[in-house]
Amino acid sequence: MSRQAKAVVCREWGKPVQVETITVDGPKRGEVTIKVAACGVCHSDHSATTGKIQYPPPLVVGHEGAGVVVEVGEGVTGLKEGDYVVTTFITMCGKCRNCVRGRPVLCENAKKSMVTLPDGTVRTHGKDDEDLYVFGACGVMAEYATLHEDNCVKIDEGVPLPSAALVGCAVITGVGSVFNTAQLEPGSRAAVFGIGGVGLNAIQGCVTAGAEMVIAVDTNEAKLEMAKEFGATHTININEVEDVSKAIKKMTAGGVDYAFECVGNGKVVEQAYKALGRAGTVVVVGVADMKDKTSISTFALPADERTLKGSWLGSARPQYDFPKILNLYKANRLKLDELITQTYSIDEAPQAFEDMIAGKNARGVIVFE
Ligand code: NAD
Ligand code: ZN
């Protein structure tokens, strides 16, 4: 059945998002409709509204959601009405070469569903039946959303849904970049550049994985304070040092084993690379502008056996990693509730974007009634 829903829509790159009432069609084969309970506001949503991430408008934003299944399409086997789910912008077909070799975030079929559902069409419509694209096959900054079941991960009841929502992007991206992409060993020395929702989770991933030193780097003092609460052992405000890479090398007597770039800027990638010790690894998590470039010393790559690698959604296997993260949360080994600095109603979504850009929140979360 079709439902009316308030949704956060980007109508034009560079303009603020707006809240509209849209129509959400019921599920087709393999799909479910969820009543969204909460959706985190991620920098990637903002990047899609500026054209930094080139998703065409009109676009329903939101990919970091949690909710309850209210309708199930034909052929759905893994979910039923009433199930609690966290959404993921990765469609995993489970059959392509990358899925079967354990790299579902690189699913060859996911590429087709960056702004539509996997079958190439949408269930979201504006006035006069106009099609609205959806961020990452999700578009869950809306009261209702119809998604493919492969973009939903079933979770246990009992976890507050606003906290669970964050697992779908910020938490898995940060924690997964440490656990899965870097496979950081206990006793390692690490630096995290950019302490937003993603960077804070890279910090707590490093702590949980047993890092000896975790250095938080940002331009914003309030973010560095948050970093300490999430277990950073040291902080550096870039504005207060002449050369951040040298400062890190000095602090660690030679450089870090792992540096996580959670900003999305080639200059920061360069700083992270220069802060490495021998055999060090830079993990690039931030999503830069398509035209952005970075520059590194080619010589040091072999001579120091350095590694430069990227991490997409924390190299996750969502169906495996999301429940694992929620279990670590239940065991008090990862913080989720503390990531939520501020909640907003859907009508306040434009403010939530402004606050994120102003660096006010670890995470702002839209909470639905
Ligand atoms: P955010 O806006 O919450 O945080 C960004 C942080 O970076 C802020 O604290 C800001 O003060 C800091 N910062 C800005 N410029 C800096 C600089 N030059 N040096 C150090 N710190 C600086 O953003 P977020 O939601 O945490 O996302 C961070 C990045 O990760 C974005 O680029 C986002 O698109 C990307 N992202 C990537 C993936 C992935 O799968 N790889 C998933 C989600 C988000
Ligand atoms: Zn995100």
Do the Cβ atoms of 363 and 167 come closer than 8 Å? no
Ligand 1 atom closest to 363 (CA)? 3
Q: What is the pLDDT of residue 64?
A: 98
Ligand nearest to C-alpha 89: 2
pLDDT at position 255, please? 98
Which ligand sits nearest to residue 173's alpha carbon? 1
Residue 213's pLDDT band (boundaries 50, 70, 90)?
very high
Determine the distance separating the centroid of ligand 1 and the alpha carbon of 56, expressed in angstroms: 22
Report strand pairing: 59-60 vs 3-10.
antiparallel
In angstroms, rounded to a whole number, what is the distance separating the alpha carbons of residues 142 and 155? Answer: 20
Which ligand minimizes its atom distance to the CA of 52?
Answer: 1
Atom of ligand 1 nearest to the CA of 264: 32
What's the chain's Rg over C-alpha atoms? 20
Q: Please tell me the distance between residue 170's alpha carbon and the centre of ligand 2 in angstroms.
A: 6
* Model pLDDT, residue 219: 97
| Residues 163-168, mean pLDDT to the nearest whole number | 98
pLDDT of residue 9: 98
Atom of ligand 1 nearest to the CA of 47: 34
Q: What is the pLDDT of residue 79?
A: 97
pLDDT (0 to 100) of residue 270: 98
The closest-lying atom of ligand 1 relative to the alpha carbon of residue 177 is 41
Closest CA to 354 of 6, 41, 38: 41
pLDDT, residue 93, reads 83
- Ligand 1 centre to CA of 331 (Å) is 27
8 Å CB contact between 139 and 124: yes
pLDDT per residue over 186-199, tens digit each?
999 999 999 999 99
Residue 110 has pLDDT above 90, yes or no: no
Q: Which amino acid is at 262?
A: C
Residue 234 pLDDT: 98
Closest ligand 1 atom to Cα of 197: 26
CA of 69 to the centre of ligand 1 (A): 31
Residue 14 pLDDT > 90? yes
Two structure tokens written together for 225: 């304070």
pLDDT of residue 358: 94
In the prediction, which pLDDT does 158 show? 87
Reported confidence tier of residue 31, pLDDT bands at 50, 70, 90: very high
Residue holding tokens 């849209």? Answer: 22
Sequence letter at residue 84: Y
Strand blocks (E) in the chain: 3-10, 18-24, 31-40, 59-60, 64-72, 84-87, 124-125, 133-134, 144-148, 152-155, 189-193, 213-218, 234-237, 256-261, 276-284, 307-310, 340-344, 363-367
Distance 28 CA to ligand 1 centre (A): 35
Q: Please report the pLDDT score of residue 243 as a whole number.
A: 98
Phi, psi of 53 (to 5 degrees): -95, 120
Whether the per-residue pLDDT at 101 is higher than 90: the answer is yes
CB 44 within 8 A of CB 50: no
- Judged against a pLDDT cut of 80, whether residue 261 lies above it is answered with yes
Q: Say yes or no to pLDDT of 349 above 80.
A: yes
Cβ distance 174 to 261 under 8 Å? no
- Counting from 1 in the atom list of ligand 1, the atom nearest the Cα of 105 is 40
In whole angstroms, give the CA distance from residue 353 to residue 145. 20
Average pLDDT, the chain: 96
Q: How far is the CA of 64 from the centre of ligand 2 (A)?
A: 6
- Closest residue by Cα to atom 30, ligand 1, is 286
Residues contacting ligand 1 via CB (< 6 Å): 42-44, 47, 169, 173, 193-199, 217-220, 223, 238, 262-265, 268, 285-287, 311-313, 356, 359
pLDDT at 369: 82
User: Quick one: pLDDT band at residue 75, thresholds 50, 70, 90?
Assistant: very high
Distance, in Å, from the CA atom of 278 to the CA atom of 307, rounded to the nearest integer, reads 10
pLDDT in tens, 114-158: 999 999 999 999 999 999 999 999 999 999 999 999 999 999 998
Neighbours of 157 (CB within 10 A): 10
**Nearest ligand by distance to the CA of 288:** 1
The DSSP bridge partners found for residue 125 are 23, 131
Residue to probe by mutation, ligand 1, list 89, 198, 218, 312, most atoms within 8 Å of CB: 198
Average pLDDT on 169-196 reads 98
Q: How far is the CA of 44 from the centre of ligand 2 (A)?
A: 5
Task: Tell me the pLDDT band of 112, cut-offs 50, 70 and 90.
Answer: confident
pLDDT band at residue 221, thresholds of 50, 70 and 90? very high
Among 262, 259, 226, 234, residue whose Cα is nearest residue 335: 226
pLDDT at 244: 98
- The proportion of the chain whose per-residue pLDDT surpasses 90, expressed as a percent, equals 95
Nearest-CA residue for ligand 1 atom 27 is 43
Q: What is the DSSP code string of 177-210? A: IIIIII-PPTT-EEEEE--SHHHHHHHHHHHHTT
3-class DSSP state for residue 81? coil
For residue 94, the model assigns a pLDDT of 87
| Nearest ligand 1 atom to alpha carbon 223 | 9
